[in-house]
Amino acid sequence: MVALLEWWSGTECTLYTDPASYPFYGKEDAIVVLNHNFEIDFLCGWTFCERFGVLGSSKVLAKKELAYVPVIGWMWYFLEIVFCKRKWEEDQKTVVQSLQRLKDYPENFWFLLYCEGTRFTQKKHKISMEVAERKGLPKLKYHLLPRTKGFCVTVQHLRGKVCVSSVVTAVYDSTLNFRNNQTPTLLGILNGKKYHADLYVRRIPLDSIPENESECAIWLHKLYQEKDELQEKYSVTGRFPGPTLSPPRRPWALLNWLFWICLLLFPLCLLLLQLFHSGSAFTICTTVLLCFAASLGVRWMIGQTEINRGSSYGNKEGQLNNNAQVSKVTNKDSRTTKTSAACTAGIKNNHEQFSTKQEGNTQLDQDTGSCSC
Ligand SMILES: CC/C=C\C/C=C\C/C=C\C/C=C\C/C=C\C/C=C\CCC(=O)SCCNC(=O)CCNC(=O)[C@H](O)C(C)(C)COP(=O)(O)OP(=O)(O)OC[C@H]1O[C@@H](n2cnc3c(N)ncnc32)[C@H](O)[C@@H]1OP(=O)(O)O
Ligand SMILES: CCCCCCCCCCCCCCCC(=O)OC[C@@H](O)COP(=O)(O)O
């Protein structure tokens, strides 16, 4: 699929990041936090994993339904992908167990979290902003309100321990957009349509993230408020701030694809030809039916990536009411209200530092131009 994106559709991927962070990518274990607005955002994620040599060890907190997708879901099961039902009471135990297993992972891995929990739609956005309002949190324009449990438990359990070989050292706050308001789809990729992805990545050392669960949740809300401001800048300027570093595509995905095509597709075509030449009406009908069923299966799999066929998670008024009840945990709410003001102040502060840094980087960009690494 990476080969399809990079070589078949020729989609370009530009990375905006601080050059000082660049050498860490692919060389450390990290938690990646990404916005969830596009049908192929997972594929762009994989492309960056491939370019930094961590495709085989890219992990994600994925919805359980994806484990049943033929081939891809089964493969994920064996790749130690962490699955959740998106009901914390049921997920807590299994998610913690899976995270504990990840700690022994022998290679550098990236663990992806779509903290919004579902893809952005206008309806889901409206409902989630009602939740934000009830919680006294600032409204977001480009994101859904993040679900905090998964992030906090991940930060807690993957945090460094001296005796464990694999420890996460950073969170990569990542924001993905497509140029010229493109809305890319997997079908578009299969039809060879070229897109241009822009990914902004900010490396945040894990040490700077609070360990305490409620403070960690506040930290995550603040992060999403910052991400929202960044998206606002992108929508105005059409680019992210700072220098661009575009890691070039590598030939491995293409070679891998060609190898499997030669090994599987050639004998498969020969087999099909033989079946059609067998002369038996039964054999021909069965072959046609099997091909038809296989193409329906592939279409269904592609459908899994389509937002308008997405789940109703985050879409239900009922869920909102339940959570309104949960939110009546009164002092928690008032604490959030107080902290949201602190958050907003914090953002301003952070952004001042951030802008200063970006100005420094822009200087660097002007000096050196875009560099390929
Ligand atoms: C250098 C390059 C860098 C980067 C490159 C980029 C990327 C590459 C990296 C890796 C690639 C790897 C793999 C990619 C491949 C494939 C990925 C494909 C698909 C996977 C995608 C998914 O399946 S996403 C869906 C599943 N995942 C998640 O949901 C994760 C996020 N969710 C959580 O973490 C949740 O906390 C949870 C699922 C663990 C539990 O959820 P639950 O809802 O039960 O609990 P929460 O407490 O978290 O949420 C309840 C609270 O939320 C409030 N709330 C907010 N909005 C709403 C709403 N709309 N309706 C109701 N409630 C809402 C609610 O009020 C609750 O608040 P309380 O205060 O009461 O707790
Ligand atoms: C040449 C044939 C190519 C065939 C390609 C088949 C491709 C099948 C890809 C299946 C991988 C599906 C990954 C979907 C990732 C995704 O984005 O999931 C959505 C969830 O986050 C949230 O779901 P939702 O709550 O519904 O928004």
Mean pLDDT of 169-177: 97
Residues lining ligand 2, Cβ inside 6 A:
42, 63, 66, 69, 72, 114, 118-119, 298, 301-302, 304-305, 310-311, 313
Q: Is residue 42 within 8 Å of 274, Cβ to Cβ?
A: no
Q: How far is the CA of 352 from the centre of ligand 1 (A)?
A: 29
Q: Which of 260, 304, 269 is nearest to 287 (CA)?
A: 269
Q: Provide the b/e sequence for 316-329 (b: ≥16 CB within 10 Å).
A: eeeebeebeeebee
Q: How far is the CA of 284 from the centre of ligand 1 (A)?
A: 47
**Is residue 203 helix, strand or coil?**
strand
- The whole-chain average pLDDT of the chain stands at 85
Q: Which ligand is nearest to the CA of 335?
A: 1
Per-residue pLDDT for 344 more than 60? no
Angle CA(230)–CA(236)–CA(237) in degrees, nearest 5? Answer: 85
Per-residue pLDDT for 268 more than 80? yes
Give the residue with greater pLDDT, 154 vs 159.
154
Q: Which residues contact 12 (CB under 8 A, 6 or more apart)?
A: 194, 195, 196, 197, 246
**Is residue 29 helix, strand or coil?**
strand
Over the stretch 271-316, which tens digit does the pLDDT of each residue have? 988 888 887 888 889 989 999 999 999 999 999 999 999 999 998 7
**Is residue 111 helix, strand or coil?**
strand
Over the stretch 353-365, which tens digit does the pLDDT of each residue have? 333 333 333 333 3
Report the alpha-carbon distance of residue 185 to residue 5 in Å, rounded. 11
Q: Which of 85, 44, 43 is nearest to 62 (CA)?
A: 85
Task: Let me know how many helices (H) and strands (E) the chain has, helices first.
Answer: 13, 7
**Of 34, 65, 119, best ligand 2 pocket probe by most atoms within 8 Å of the beta carbon:** 119
Report the alpha-carbon distance of residue 105 to residue 120 in Å, rounded. 32
Q: What is the ipTM of this complex?
A: 0.96
Q: What is the pTM of this model?
A: 0.86
Q: Is residue 47 within 8 Å of 229, Cβ to Cβ?
A: no
Model confidence at 80, pLDDT cuts 50, 70, 90, reads confident
